[in-house]
Amino acid sequence: MSALLLSTKPETMEVWRRELAALDPGLDIRLFPDTGPVEDITAAVTWNHPPEDFFRYPNLRLLISMGAGVDHLFRPPGPPPGVAVVRLVDRLLTTAMSEYVLLAVLRHHRQDAGYRALQAQRLWQELPAPDTESTRIGVMGLGTLGADAARKLALLGFRVAGWSRTPKTLDGIETFAGPEALFPFLARTDILVCLLPLTPATEGILCARTLAALPRGAYVINAARGGHVVEEDLLAALESGQISGATLDVFRTEPLPPNHPFWTHPKVIVTPHVASITIPRSVAPQVIENLARLREGRPLLNVVDVSVGY
């Protein structure tokens, strides 16, 4: 027997089951932890599932991440040997992330915090006009999400550049690649957007050294993973004025602890990991397609390179 393991937050489990079953009524879906015989499980659709649990299923052949990120599947001990890993590439996921990035950029660029402070004081005062064409935005990560955000920022007239592990080409956008290009990229960036995958190479990449490489007063937006930021270093950079402010959607500990200084920091905007939320209705066809490809021995969609973790 071939069965699909479904594992996510309890409040969304039934929504996922319903959307998948509507497309394939014959699909045997097991809702974790009610797996039935472990030998039945051949594929899993999951988010933040205990990684060691995947080794219980001797016939597991495919892991499907419920989002664009897959770092949760590579936490020790990582995927079982020989098990394919795929991620979701979805128009609504991509659009939502770009919306979040544009909102954060424009909120800072158009001095929203300053005008809110003036409103609180009932002061009718004009702040210096922002110069879009002179504002340099740098996007770290030029995958599906980063490339889309970079293109949309460029359409608004910003000077946009991108940095990635390997060379990429985007029309109208300056690109940097590899470790040797990171600091030149940072030096020309007034607003830094992090949309990198989380891997051992990008863990803690936003640290004292890289934050210091930005122009003084730069702004930081992180909508990728909390592990990219050394939080103590960012707080120190905010206090010194090296970083003028930050919009943070992701954190090393989630939910963010109530006593964490980010909550009340006057230069920080906190959102609860909501930049881009997977909509089961939109991605269910992709999941069903990959399950069919697995059964038929055809190439899978959006396969992750296990050697690099994305």
My answer on whether 129 and 265 are in the same domain is yes
My answer on whether 157 and 36 are in the same domain is no
Which positions ≥6 away from 67 have C-beta within 8 Å?
A: 47, 87, 88, 93, 276, 278
Q: Which domain holds residue 214?
A: 91-270
Contact 288, 29 (CB under 8 A): no
Contact 42, 59 (CB under 8 A): yes
Q: Is residue 72 part of a domain?
A: yes
My answer on whether 215 and 238 are in the same domain is yes
Give the chain's domain count. 2
Q: Is residue 306 part of a domain?
A: no
| Cα–chain center distance at 199 | 12
Contact 156, 164 (CB under 8 A): no
My answer on whether 103 and 18 are in the same domain is no
DSSP H/E element including 17: helix 10-23
My answer on whether 55 and 125 are in the same domain is no
Give me the pLDDT at residue 252, please.
Answer: 98
My answer on whether 75 and 201 are in the same domain is no
What whole-number distance in Å separates Cα of residue 44 and Cα of residue 35?
11
My answer on whether 82 and 230 are in the same domain is no
Which pTM was predicted? 0.96
What whole-number distance in Å separates Cα of residue 145 and Cα of residue 134?
24
Q: Which residue has the tokens 């970083």?
A: 243
Give me the pLDDT at residue 298, please.
Answer: 98
CATH number at residue 218: 3.40.50.720
My answer on whether 115 and 210 are in the same domain is yes
What whole-number distance in Å separates Cα of residue 160 and Cα of residue 174?
7
My answer on whether 98 and 191 are in the same domain is yes
What whole-number distance in Å separates Cα of residue 189 and Cα of residue 210?
11
Q: Is residue 305 part of a domain?
A: no
Q: Is residue 309 part of a domain?
A: no
Q: Is residue 61 part of a domain?
A: yes
My answer on whether 190 and 200 are in the same domain is yes
Q: Which of 225, 265, 281, 298 does the annotation list as catalytic? A: 225
Q: Is residue 290 part of a domain?
A: yes
Strands (E), 23-126: 29-31, 41-46, 62-65, 84-86
My answer on whether 139 and 175 are in the same domain is yes
Q: Is residue 310 part of a domain?
A: no
Contact 213, 207 (CB under 8 A): no
The radius of gyration computed from the CA coordinates of the chain, to the nearest angstrom, equals 21
Half-sphere exposure for 191 (CA within 13 Å, toward CB): 22
Question: Helix crossing, 91-109 with 144-155: angle to 10°?
Answer: 50
Q: Is residue 304 part of a domain?
A: no
| pLDDT tens-digit map of 50-69 | 999 999 999 999 999 999 99
Q: Is 122 a catalytic residue?
A: no
Q: Which of 273, 281, 295, 298 does the annotation list as catalytic? A: 273
Length of the chain, in residues: 310
Q: Is 225 a catalytic residue?
A: yes
Strands (E), 93-249: 136-140, 159-164, 174-177, 191-194, 218-222, 243-248
Q: Extract the tokens encoding 301.
A: 């969609």
- pLDDT tens, residue order, the chain (310 aa): 799 999 999 999 999 999 999 999 999 999 999 999 999 999 999 999 999 999 999 999 999 999 999 999 999 999 999 999 999 999 999 999 999 999 999 999 999 999 999 999 999 999 999 999 999 999 999 999 999 999 999 999 999 999 999 999 999 999 999 999 999 999 999 999 999 999 999 999 999 999 999 999 999 999 999 999 999 999 999 999 999 999 999 999 999 999 999 999 999 999 999 999 999 999 999 999 999 999 999 999 999 998 888 9
- Output the CA angle 302-276-16, nearest 5 degrees: 70
Give me the pLDDT at residue 1, please.
Answer: 74
What whole-number distance in Å separates Cα of residue 79 and Cα of residue 77?
7
My answer on whether 95 and 170 are in the same domain is yes
Which positions ≥6 away from 50 have C-beta within 8 Å?
A: none
